[in-house]
Amino acid sequence: MPCHESKIIIVGAGVFGLTTALWLARDGYKDITVFDRCAFDSNYYNPAIGCDGASSDVNKIFRMAYGDKKDYQSLAIEARDMWLDWDKTIQESCLSQLPPGLTPEDKLLHVSGCYFIGEGRELRGEHRTSLETMAKLAPDFRNMQFVKNDADDEERLRRIDPMWVEKYHVIDKINHGDTHGFLDINAGITIADKVSEKVAGVKFVLGDPQGKFETFIMEHSGREKKAAGIKTADGKRHFGELVIVAAGGWTASIIPEAHKTVEATAGTVMFIDIPRHRQDLWQKFHPDNYPVWSYQATEGENHYSGGGYPISKEGRLKFSFRGRKACQKIPTSPYNANWRVSVPRTKYTSDAIHTVPRYGLLKMKKVVAQAFPELVEFGFTDSRLCWYPDSIDEDFVIDYVPGYGKSLFICSGGCGHAFKFLPILGRHVKNQLEGIPDQFTPVWKWRAAKEGDDNNGLSDGEFGPREMSRVPMANALDFSLRETPNAAPP
């Protein structure tokens, strides 16, 4: 177990690495160094200029609705207060007191509202369960959730502010109005690329090659092995008593045993850049007038979810798709020729890619064109593969890696829903590091895919249908929001 004098190395400066460093430093740990191959000290987590981790994004959904997962719901509610406190501090600061990339006018959390919708007019499934769980555990927050197609709830909204009624109807055209769901007016979006403040008392080594992990420094004593530090791509060796790997989609390619625990899978993200002269659209999609929304469609194998986000300060609209998630299995692991590991492929990797799977794009364009015909003239102007580390059950994996004598710790498995917890997650990471049991200890423990189980698709392997070499990719014509000839998905 680490002590306050321990030399701690954290690999990865995304949400898991930052929150861990934050809470360790707050508690008095004195020797923490965070390594990352991205030069966040100069690109400020901006995905447009070289950042390709899941934590580097235009914006992220902030929700407290979690089905029957009451502990995640409570954690999100606690995190919300902390985000708002951070915003208050920013707004009360002078520009000179803020880190580069932030101004007193910036918000990290926009309470724009979050709309959860699905096919059919009957409220059901996770949407119904989310409302029931919130009513039991946080009734004041349940009172700020408004059921779609409910006249009484619409009137309640009107009494709060007529602006919310506009948001209540802003996505009525999806699926020709045949939808159910609810609007949560306490939820919204976090501005991911603004959350770049360094943690006091923590050293950062950023950029390639000096911050890029190359391999572990291993010590062996009989059958025991110990991670004694890391070697970076510039050839330097960095020693420590504890190595924490929080490398997002790259985690399984760094920790060899993790290939059956987490897998890098790609969500499809599309952008529409609205010209500055179209101030009517800038206003329509501003967070004050437009909620983030999530749409779930179909069931079973063809189930997917897509969503839209308010416009950024730069005029960029973001739309996302998660369903048939792509992966890229490399033929060998650097540690064992029998292991197959999914490794992210992005605009900035050596095998750069500048498109997305056609299947997800076609689903998205149909929904966007239905909901917002005024956007058809622009079409999608950019795309991104957003690589998340998926766990076998969508719970995080935060535990010591077996077989390393408590010298190697994994902090991963974000599954696309971790960013909202940045202010608070590290408190529970610290508990797991220090062996202090809490409600998340049994949920986040080390676990591996079992033969014959679904495993959230992790067991598909390199010959599975999601492997990118077998996934048809979109071409330039597909980026148009107008009907594409022969647009049936594969």
Predicted TM-score (pTM) of the model is 0.94
Concatenate the DSSP letters of all residues of 314-331 into one string: TSEEEEEEEEEEEB-EES
What are the angstrom distances between the C-alpha of 293 and each of 60, 89, 168? 11, 28, 11
Measured distance CA(213)–CA(36) in Å, rounded: 7
Q: Taking Cα atoms as reference points, which of 355, 267, 246 lies closest to residue 16?
A: 246
Give residues with Cβ within 8 angstroms of 458, minimum separation 6: 260, 262, 263, 390, 392, 449
Residue 12 near residue 246 (C-beta atoms within 8 A): yes
Q: Taking Cα atoms as reference points, which of 149, 130, 148 lies closest to residue 138?
A: 130
Q: Taking Cα atoms as reference points, which of 458, 356, 388 lies closest to residue 53?
A: 388
Residue 262 near residue 448 (C-beta atoms within 8 A): no
Q: Taking Cα atoms as reference points, which of 114, 169, 110, 167 lies closest to residue 141?
A: 114
pLDDT at 101: 76
pLDDT at 218: 95
Q: β-strand 382-391 against 397-400: which pairing, if any? A: unpaired
Mind listing the pLDDT tens digit of every residue in the chain (490 residues)?
A: 899 999 999 999 999 999 999 999 999 999 999 999 999 988 888 888 889 999 999 999 999 999 999 999 999 999 999 999 999 999 999 999 888 778 899 999 999 999 999 999 999 999 999 999 999 999 999 999 999 999 999 999 999 999 999 999 999 999 999 999 999 999 999 998 887 555 768 999 999 999 999 999 999 877 789 999 999 999 999 999 999 999 999 999 999 889 889 989 899 999 999 999 999 999 999 999 999 999 998 766 667 889 999 999 999 999 998 876 678 766 545 555 566 788 899 999 988 999 999 988 999 999 999 999 999 999 999 999 999 999 999 999 999 999 999 999 999 999 889 999 999 999 999 999 999 999 999 999 999 888 777 777 776 666 677 788 888 999 999 999 987 555 444 4
Residue 389 CA neighbour count, 13 Å, CB half: 34
Measured distance CA(461)–CA(479) in Å, rounded: 30
Measured distance CA(386)–CA(419) in Å, rounded: 13
Residue 2 near residue 29 (C-beta atoms within 8 A): yes
Measured distance CA(106)–CA(387) in Å, rounded: 27
pLDDT at 339: 64
Residue 249 near residue 387 (C-beta atoms within 8 A): yes
Q: Taking Cα atoms as reference points, which of 45, 191, 198, 164 lies closest to residue 109?
A: 191
pLDDT at 305: 87
User: How far does CA 384 lie from the centroid of its chain?
Assistant: 13
Residue 230 near residue 217 (C-beta atoms within 8 A): yes
Measured distance CA(249)–CA(229) in Å, rounded: 21
